[in-house]
Structure 1
Amino acid sequence: MKVLIIDDEKLLVKGLKKSLEQEGFEVSVAYDGETGFSVFETSSFDLLILDLMLPKIDGITLCRMIRQSSEVPIMMLTAKDSDIDKILGLELGADDYMTKPFNTRELIARVRAILRRVEKQEVQQETVYTSGDLVVDSGYRTVKKAYREVELTPKEFDILELLIRNKGRVFPREEIFRLVWQEPCLDTRTIDVHIKNLREKLKDHEKNSPMIQTKWGVGYYFRRD
């Protein structure tokens, strides 16, 4: 993970850079807003640590400039302990805020928390499952068949996403109900009806090898490609 620190307190930056590198981060530094923005534009970073009070271009202005073209996570630092400064920084798009002096271990823990949250969001947005001309996008909860969008109910989508995410695994009706409805199964016929509707909407009528297959006496599964 690459981190850019933009702060004019050279002693603080030196210590923070060393601590982050010991944790496995690759760290670049800049001591004023103008240089910081130039470094940011010429490389790719996973997170910025940005001081509020900077020479040449202040942290608030720099945050605004960066947010015009990038959603990179930003941790803001300040010697001020004013609520208005925190609110302003966060409203401009900062992901977190720490007031100097701070505990380095806490800052690193917060940095890791931000990166985990961003990584989780990216995984959710980019999880796309395909089978032939079927495309299931879990992040946007859309389904396309032969490039045409298929309108599914929320439960139909959840069942399809569960099956295609686990191709080849047979799910008993009771388990499908429990995983999708988040409650004990009261009537397995509900699953049969939803599967029937899914097959109709997906035009899944191949006799020899439909996408959603039945394991007689057990349940349903999505065929392996």
Structure 2
Amino acid sequence: MSKSGARILVVDDEIEILRALQRSLAAHGFEVFTASNGEDALEAITHYRPDLMLLDLGLPGISGLEVTKRVREQSNLPIIVLSVKDAERDKVQALDLGADDYVPKPFGIDEVLARIRVALRHTAQVQAGTEPIFTVGPLKVDFAQRLVQVKGQEVKLTPTEYDLLKALIKNRGKIMTRHMLLSQVWGTGYGTESHYLHVYIGQLRRKIEPDTTHPRFILTISGVGYRFSSDDD
């Protein structure tokens, strides 16, 4: 699979949005399939085997949240949620259920294309296997040695700080909700302990960010969680 020619399933019950996305994505070299409800979306996934799905949450019948849940139970298909700005709870729930990213409505095609590129790149990296050494700008992480360096100098991280950084890097480009990070790093019993995460994110930034007032790597997604951003994201 490559970014150009990737198969995209667009699911939205607003026909104007559906057609606009279909035309724009096709013009950029993607093979596009569409569905206007949850049932058709699930059938299309089985039939067309898309590389990525753009999914509206407010679908008739089977909801977008339920579609996300069912898809994630069976595959790692990248899912980018299309959400209205006031649907904050649904957006966070979709990410917790396994959606990879979200684009708020109304949106521009350039923003959608950027999110698609990040999601497809992340999928390709996962399929290729985890690299033993990750480097971006002044930051270098050797996963085999559990070694972190900034500008060639070793940075001492606590085990929890390292596990948090690793979780963010392994999911770079993807929004990680607070619940997801807490559950992965601290355990399922800590899923609501947001203060732990806030403290450790602050500590990590002080150790790896060139400028903590303008984070380059660990970005805050307001009201949702965090995203690790590489230079090419």
**TM class, shorter-chain normalised?**
0.5 to 0.7
TM-score, normalising length: structure 1? 0.55
Structural mapping, 1:1-225, within 5 Å: 1-125=6-130, 154=144
Structure 2 residue runs of 5 or longer lacking an equivalent are 1-5, 134-143, 146-151, 154-233
Aligned counterparts of 2:35 and 2:29: Cα–Cα separation in 1: 20
Distance 2:17 2:37 in 1: 14
Task: Give 1:123 deviation, angstroms.
Answer: 1.5
Kept in 2, the 8 Å contact 1:81–1:99? The answer is no
Unaligned runs of 5+ in 1: 128-137, 140-153, 156-181, 184-225
Percent of counterpart pairs with the same letter?
36
Q: 1 CA distance for matches of 2:52 and 2:126?
A: 15
Q: TM-score, normalised by structure 2?
A: 0.53
State the Cα distance separating 1:82 from its structure 2 match: 3.3
Q: Which residue of 2 aligns with 1:179?
A: none
Take 1:32 and 1:16, find their aligned partners in 2: how far apart are those partners?
Answer: 16
More RCO (CA 8 Å, sep 6+)? 2
Partner of 2:170: none
1-structure distance, mates of 2:60, 2:87: 20
Q: Is the 8 A contact 2:65 2:90 kept in 1?
A: no
- Opposite residue 84 of structure 2, the aligned amino acid is A
Q: Residues of 2 paired with 1:88 and 1:9: CA distance?
A: 22
- Tell which deviates more after alignment, 45-54 or 81-90: 81-90
> What SS is found at the alignment partner of 1:68?
helix
Residue type of the alignment partner of 2:24: S
Displaced runs of 4 or more, over 3 A: none
